[in-house]
Amino acid sequence: MIKKILGIAPTLESDGSYSPSKLALKLATKQKSDYESIVYKKYQGKKSKILVIFTEQKNMTMQNGKLFSTGNHPVEALLPMMHLKSAGFCFEIVTPTGKPVVFEMWAFPEKDENVKKFYEEFKSEFEQPKKLQDFVNMTIVETESFAAVFIPGGHGAMLGIPEDKNVGKILSWAHENNLFTITLCHGPGSLLATTADKQPFLYKNYKMAVFPDSVDKMTPKIGYLPGQMLWGLSEKLKSLGAHIVNTKADKTVCLDRKLVTGASPLAANELGKLAVKSLLENLS
């Protein structure tokens, strides 16, 4: 009751999961993003496609058994895509089984007309994405058409994606064919998929920006998460040999070889700009 009065009690949803408290939403989300509308010299080559792997899962189980209402963070997903589209790239949108993309709609920037317009433009593809398995079976041979793989963040990226063998196959395919891999916040959890079947971690000794475990451990105090997470992403990546370049959930972005990463939702705009710059320089 006291937490409700103070606005720090997570909000119970109809399916029994919890979304962030009023205070957490006020502190951690914005009604308008920092997206910069930039006029890029459009890419017109053959490698114009970006494979975007979204999560289709919504609820994350906490240590206390409560469910966190998650999915893909809309700002982390849409802002980088907006930059990439402005630079002439198009998207192949997939989820592991073809179920609809799940967004953390409580984090949607409702007063951002640019983001809302972009979301509506791709809404039908978010609702009816392609199956990742079909991409692995059929399209993976079309290397000449693709420039990068993009895996947005949101805690939902830690659900199923890190254990998905098809995600591991895609990341290995991208690595072997000199494509870029773009991800941010909790999205780097996807990189763990490269360790499937006891394979060595593909990104050992890579520098990357990742959402800090220290912040995840702190957020239950303000009702962002309804409890402590089962495992820490940064800790797991470091244990496999990754070098985390940030200590805060800030605008940090990082480029190491063909891996482009960002630290948090605050980095989404900068990640989009860095991704475009890296792709255009590499493909020119």
User: How far apart, in Å, are the Cα atoms of 1 and each of 8, 10, 182?
Assistant: 10, 12, 42
Q: State the Cα–Cα distance between residues 149 and 132, nearest whole angstrom.
A: 12
Residue 11 lies in a domain: no
Residue 152 lies in a domain: yes
pLDDT at 6: 54
Contact 148, 51 (CB under 8 A): yes
Alpha helices of 88-190 — where are they, by DSSP H?
A: 113-127, 132-134, 165-176
CATH number for 187: 3.40.50.880
Residue 33 lies in a domain: no
Residue 193 lies in a domain: yes
pLDDT at 231: 97
Closest CA to 149 of 130, 126, 173, 166: 173
Q: Into how many domains does the chain fold?
A: 1
| Confidence label for 13 from pLDDT (cuts 50, 70 and 90) | very high
Residue 218 lies in a domain: no
The pLDDT tens digits of the residues spanning 170-227 come to 999 999 999 999 999 999 999 999 999 899 999 999 999 999 999 999 999 999 999 9
Residue 130 lies in a domain: yes
**CA max distance for the chain:** 59
Residue 275 lies in a domain: yes
59-61 vs 67-69, strand pairing mode: antiparallel
| Confidence label for 144 from pLDDT (cuts 50, 70 and 90) | confident
Domain residues for 51?
A: 45-97+119-211+232-283
Rounded to the nearest integer, the mean pLDDT of the chain is: 95
Helix (H, G, I), strand (E, B) or coil at 49: strand
The reported pTM is 0.96
Q: Give the catalytic positions in this structure.
A: 185
Residue 112 lies in a domain: no
